[in-house]
A and B are shown apart, each in its own frame.
Chain A
């Protein structure tokens, strides 16, 4: 998020983070908090151990393979949501997502919220983002 605020995030990762910020209230609050602080404060406010971890994470992010294609990404997200909605529903919902994938989370989350409630759907989407978009990238 810090790299995003500093304008250092690659275009693909930037788009996905923006999509997540629209959907996740918690991350949005964190973003507003970080964006309103000056860059030096942002770095100083972190614990020393945390800063090392953050740098390590950024290095790993940079050395990680590029984001999977949209089709592969959709396939992986379908795998994450199908235990809740069913395989046919997961495929059908992801079929409604545009080719660019910009509306991926905004398409999936409302359907999950209908059946699981907003709170559980938000937690599930956060987990999907974490496992597919961040860890799986």
Chain B
């Protein structure tokens, strides 16, 4: 066989047998970043020098978060275009793409524009100050918190309606109900605490008020995530299932991060467990980027001449 045809055969084989999709690249990149982040944590614990952690989260960690948010938005927009007007999942994906746009805006605000790092182009502006950075951060938290969660909850509701219409909507199990009840009690407890604080003369700022719906919205999202998980379980492992399971995992990780923040603030979680909060957002962002990537891969495989391997 001539050398050129051997090379061409090799290229064809590489394309057919070893063609990592976007999802594989996201998983690989996230695993490498988490490994590097944990190495930075170990270096900090051994040396006692916090610059290890700061260096990781301020530049490579921030860039990865922005990159994942960009991928989430880009893939969601492409997925939207794969559904025709009037198709039920088109509206759901439009809402999810809206949530992804808010997530990107929030990540840029929190990870880049509100941080005193070399990545921040606003840092050298004459008007930039610590209070300006704080306002940018608060705006980012609102965009990535209640606003994003409203759109995401509406989008996932659309997906659940599709599962119901197809006859594959899952049912909540006893363990799911217990988990939801416990988190419901936590949300109620927080609301009571807030009521007491307001009664004692607390004057919350606009950013704090805007953040109040976050926990109830997370409860709704968790309910949707569990229903999606049960629906996927009912249908069996598949490309489509991977997409919605990724959303469920992302929501579970965001909820975990929220609980860790609360537990750290109230002293329920001892050091070094509080460091869990730093590392939970990266896999959460990866899960939200993976979801549209899996949906896109399923659609692309459906139109390709060879069936996929799940």
Residue positions of A touching B, CB distance < 8 A? 80, 82-90, 92, 111-121, 123-124, 127
Contacts of A117 in B (CB 8 A): 82-84, 87, 89-90, 299
Which residues of chain A are within 8 angstroms of B237 by Cβ–Cβ distance? 86-87
**Once the chains bind, are B232 and A86 in contact (CB under 8 Å)?**
yes
In the complex, what distance in Å separates the CA atom of A112 from the CA atom of B310? 17
Stretch of B174-182, B267-275, B301-309 lying at the A interface: B301-309
Are B162 and A114 in contact, with the CB atoms below 8 A? yes
Determine whether B240 belongs to the interface, using a CB cutoff of 8 Å to chain A: yes
List 19 extra interface pairs beyond A83-B309, A116-B240, CB under 8 A.
Answer: A82-B236, A83-B308, A85-B236, A86-B235, A87-B237, A88-B234, A88-B235, A92-B168, A113-B87, A114-B162, A114-B166, A115-B162, A115-B240, A116-B299, A117-B83, A118-B84, A119-B84, A120-B82, A127-B305
Task: Indicate if the CB atoms of A120 and B305 lie closer than 8 Å.
Answer: no
A88 vs B238: C-alpha distance when bound (angstroms): 10
> Interface SS of chain A: helix, strand, loop or mixed?
helix
CB neighbours (8 Å) of A127 from chain B are 302, 305, 307
10 A-B interface contacts by CB (under 8 A)? A83-B301, A85-B236, A88-B234, A92-B167, A92-B168, A111-B166, A115-B240, A117-B89, A117-B299, A120-B298
Q: Which B residues lie at the A interface, using CB under 8 A?
A: 82-84, 87-90, 162, 165-168, 232, 234-241, 298-299, 301-303, 305, 307-310
In the complex, what residues of A have CB within 8 A of residue B167's CB?
Answer: 92
Tell me which residues across on chain A come within 8 A of B241, comparing CB atoms: 86
Query: Bound state CA distance, A92 and B239, in angstroms?
Result: 17
| Inter-subunit contact B235/A85 (CB<8 Å) | yes
Bound complex: CA of A115 vs CA of B244, how far in Å?
Answer: 11
Chain A neighbourhood of B303, CB < 8 A: 119-120, 123-124
Residues of chain B lying within 8 A (CB to CB) of residue A88: 234-236
- On chain B, the residues within 8 Å of A124 by CB distance are 302-303
Query: Is there an interface contact between A120 and B236, defined as CB atoms closer than 8 Å?
Result: no
| Shortest Cβ gap from B288 to chain A (Å) | 19
Chain A nearest CB: distance from B268 CB in Å?
A: 39
Q: Do A121 and B302 touch (CB < 8 A)?
A: yes
Q: How far is the CA of A89 from the CA of B233 in the complex (A)?
A: 10
Bound together, the chains give a CA A124 to CA B309 distance in angstroms of 15
Query: Cα distance A90–B241 when bound, in Å?
Result: 13
User: Which residue on chain B has the smallest CB distance to residue A127?
Assistant: B305
B180 nearest CB across to chain A (Å): 25
